Structure 1
Amino acid sequence: MIPRPSPLVRALASAMAVSTLLAIASCSGEGDASQASDATATPLAARTSAPAPTRTSAPPRLTQAGAQAALITEDDLEGDWNQVKGAAAWGDTLLIGKVDVAQFLTSKANAADCQRLLDALYDDDLLGKPSGASALTGFEQGDSRLLYQVAAHNPVRLSASLAWLKTLPVKCDQFTATDAKGGKRTVQVTTASVPKQGDARQGLHVTVQGTTNGEPATLTLDVAAVRVGNDAITVTAGGLAGGAHPSLELAVRTGAQRLKDVQSGKTPAAGPGRTG
């Protein structure tokens, strides 16, 4: 017969077994806690180390006061240009006419573009109607005129208008328009250079041959449109005495900088003044 262990031995064995189980459970709990801690910390660490999203603020809208401040002055132009009032009412009658659609044998749509050009030059809205603030001013030098405009535009429509201007030297290289009395006018459109200012630009050289007061006359216009952000400047210079491309280029260079200054909250610097 195998002797039974005494009560004291049984108690000691039971205590050791319980201690062993507690130690195993403790180790297991530490592992689970460590894994849980790692699982919890990983997404947080990822979120903490990820770069913060970049916030882009919309450019400030051009105000009416800003548009007026961005206009060029006599001091920004060389020569004998004099600033005049009433430029908003300018519009040479040689630009009034109906395009001869029959002349466009292969593309009638081009006739509509040429009509739009004549109307826009007469109405001084080459880039379409502004979507916000706008201002204009005019200058005269002998028989020549220079019209300068600043305006806020819808960015999509502004880009479309500049793209449209670029097509005109091909679509409207030469066409005929008829005035209200049946007089014929020959219009020619070519590309003109524009100083590399702003974000996008387009230049045109337009001549209209017809009659004024019964006498032969030729109207010559140099045209430039420049986008600066969501705003734009347009310059039209020339007249019956010919084009005024050097003055147009100067107006574009000084005017684009003035508009940039206004957009950044600065006061545009005064022009260099008369040089002669």
Structure 2
Amino acid sequence: MTTARPSSRPSCPPRPSGPAGPTRPGRPVRGLAAALACGTLLVTAAACSNGDDGAAGGSDVAAAPVAGRTTAPAPLPLTNARARMALITAADLEDDWTQVKTAGNWHDRLLVGKVDVARFVTARTQAAACQQLLDGLYENDMLGKPSGGSALTGFQQDEARLFYQVAAYDKADLDKSLAWLKSLPTECDQFNAVGAQNATRSVQVVAASLPKVGDARQGITVTVKGSSGGSPVTLTLDVAVVRVGDDAITVVNGGTDGVDHDSTDDAVSHGVTRLKDVLAGRTPAPQPSLFD
């Protein structure tokens, strides 16, 4: 004799039996509600009847968002070789710039001078910041000594020069340098410097906008008025610094015929693209994209 196994299905209220009679008001609603409740229980029981399948289904759903996550690889350290790869070329600049190998030896004597401290309200702080600006421009050393790999190049067009450097720095020092550059249009908006044979140069510093690329950026335009060979001369320079992680791009562009701000923007925009490619392990494109 076979013993019937108890059913695991939830029991539902038995259907009413007996002769059909007049339906009482409200009863069909209660009957329908009971039927719906029973149907819900049956569906629930069916879903939970197989514990293994249910667990597998829950695992698949939970794993989907995790599988979709991607972790960006850490950027490569900037070595000298990678810094050279990240340098812009003449193709990254419009007009007729010619790449040269002598940029590290560029020094403009109009930038040599001792800041006239007497012209400042808070002499020591302001004068030191302005002296650092002149010395940095003359020595091609706006951000101090790199902490890692570095490379530089230069371009010439008529009387204009464009100095370009890629280098790794200590991030805290780099942030301090950017804050210093940001302060210069206020601290050094107008000042005088005394050069050889007591020749006085007037210097003006104003803020300059840059393309919104990189992690942080700062731009200024410096105008130095003095004399050369007994004739008045004006030197105008764009200075642009863009931070990408712990690395930075430095651009100094201009000359005695003025400055082409578009070339500064091109150097910054295309330079950041090239540097990001190198840090990601990619080879920069030989020509800049039209959509950069």
Answer whether TM exceeds 0.5 for this pair.
yes
Where does residue 156 of structure 1 map in the other structure?
172
Q: Contact (CA 8 Å) 2:114, 2:131: kept in 1 or not? A: yes
Structure 2 distance, partners of 1:106, 1:122, is: 24
Where does residue 29 of structure 2 map in the other structure?
none
Q: Contact (CA 8 Å) 1:221, 1:244: kept in 2 or not? A: no
TM-score of the superposed pair, with normalisation by structure 2 = 0.73
Across the aligned residues of Structure 1 and Structure 2, the Cα RMSD in angstroms comes to 1.7
Deviation, 1:106, is 3.2
Please tell me whether residue 226 in structure 1 is matched to residue 242 in structure 2: yes
User: Equivalent residue of 1:181, what SS?
Assistant: helix
Deviation, 1:217, is 0.2
Deviation, 1:181, is 1.0
* Percent of paired sites with the same residue: 59
Match of 2:284 among 253, 268, 271: 268
Where does residue 252 of structure 1 map in the other structure?
268
User: Equivalent residue of 1:206, what SS?
Assistant: strand
Deviation, 1:58, is 5.8
Where does residue 99 of structure 1 map in the other structure?
115
Structure 2 distance, partners of 1:71, 1:57, is: 22
Where does residue 72 of structure 1 map in the other structure?
88
Give CA-to-partner distance per residue, 1:172-195, whole Å, 9 cap, x none. 000000002100000000000110
Q: Please identify, of 100-109 and 250-259, the stretch whose mean Cα deviation from structure 2 is larger.
A: 100-109
Give CA-to-partner distance per residue, 1:20-59, whole Å, 9 cap, x none. xxxxxxxxxxxxxxxxxxxxxxxxxxxxxxx9xxx99864
Match of 2:206 among 190, 213, 221: 190
Deviation, 1:218, is 0.2
Where does residue 173 of structure 1 map in the other structure?
189
Structure 2 residue runs without a partner (length 5+): 1-65
Match of 1:139 among 152, 155, 176: 155
Provide closer, same or farther for how the CA distance between residues 56 and 78 of structure 1 changes in structure 2, counting only shifts above 3 A.
Answer: closer
Structure 1 residue runs without a partner (length 5+): 1-50
Where does residue 257 of structure 2 map in the other structure?
241
Where does residue 228 of structure 2 map in the other structure?
212
TM-score of the superposed pair, with normalisation by structure 1 = 0.77
Opposite residue 241 of structure 1, the aligned amino acid is D
Q: Please identify, of 106-115 and 173-182, the stretch whose mean Cα deviation from structure 2 is larger.
A: 106-115
Structure 1 distance, partners of 2:275, 2:122, is: 42
Structure 1 distance, partners of 2:73, 2:262, is: 37
Deviation, 1:272, is 4.6
Provide closer, same or farther for how the CA distance between residues 142 and 154 of structure 1 changes in structure 2, counting only shifts above 3 A.
Answer: same
Structure 1 distance, partners of 2:74, 2:144, is: 23
Structure 2 distance, partners of 1:168, 1:240, is: 22
Structure 2 distance, partners of 1:92, 1:107, is: 26
Structure 1 distance, partners of 2:219, 2:200, is: 26
